[in-house]
Amino acid sequence: MRLSQAWIIAAKDFQTFGKKKNIIYTTFVVPLLVSVGLPLVVRAVERRLASGALTAELTTLLPTFAWVFLVLAGITPTTIASYTIVGEKIERSLEALLATPTTDSEILVGKGLAAFLPALGAILGGGIIFMALMDAVTRGALGYDFFPNGSAALVLFVLVPLAALMSIEWNVIISARVNDVRAAQQIGMLLMLPFAALYVAGELRLIGLGVTRNLLIIAGILLAVDVVFLYLSRATFRRDEILTKWK
pLDDT given for residue 53 in this prediction: 59
Q: What is the pLDDT of residue 92?
A: 65
Task: State the chain's mean pLDDT as an integer.
Answer: 82
Question: Could you tell me the sign of the dihedral formed by the alpha carbons of 105, 108, 114, 120, in that order?
Answer: negative
**Which residue from 80, 241, 230 is spatially nearest to 88, judged by alpha carbons?**
80
| CB 199 within 8 Å of CB 67 | yes
Give the pLDDT confidence of 166-213 residue by residue, as tens digits: 988 888 888 767 777 777 777 877 888 888 888 888 878 788 888 889
How far, in Å, CA of 230 to CA of 108, rounded? 10
Residue 93: helix, strand or coil by DSSP? coil
* Averaged pLDDT for residues 44-58: 69
Question: How far is the C-alpha of 93 from the C-alpha of 180, rounded, in Å?
Answer: 15
For residue 33, give the nearest of 81, 76, 80, 64 by alpha carbon: 76
- Rounded to whole angstroms, the Cα distance separating 56 from 70 reads 24
| Residue 138: predicted pLDDT | 87
- Choose among 69, 168, 167: nearest CA to 113: 168
Confidence (pLDDT) at 49 = 62
Q: Are 114 and 10 in contact (CB under 8 A)?
A: yes
Among 86, 93, 15, CA closest to 237: 86
Torsion of CA 214, 215, 217, 223, to 10 degrees: 160
Give the confidence band of 163 by pLDDT, cuts at 50, 70, 90: very high
Which one-letter DSSP state was computed for residue 247? Answer: -
- Are 226 and 173 contacting, i.e. CB atoms less than 8 angstroms apart? no
Domain boundaries, the chain: 3-245
Share of the chain above pLDDT 90, in %: 23
Residue 46 near residue 141, CB atoms below 8 Å: yes
CB 76 within 8 A of CB 164: yes
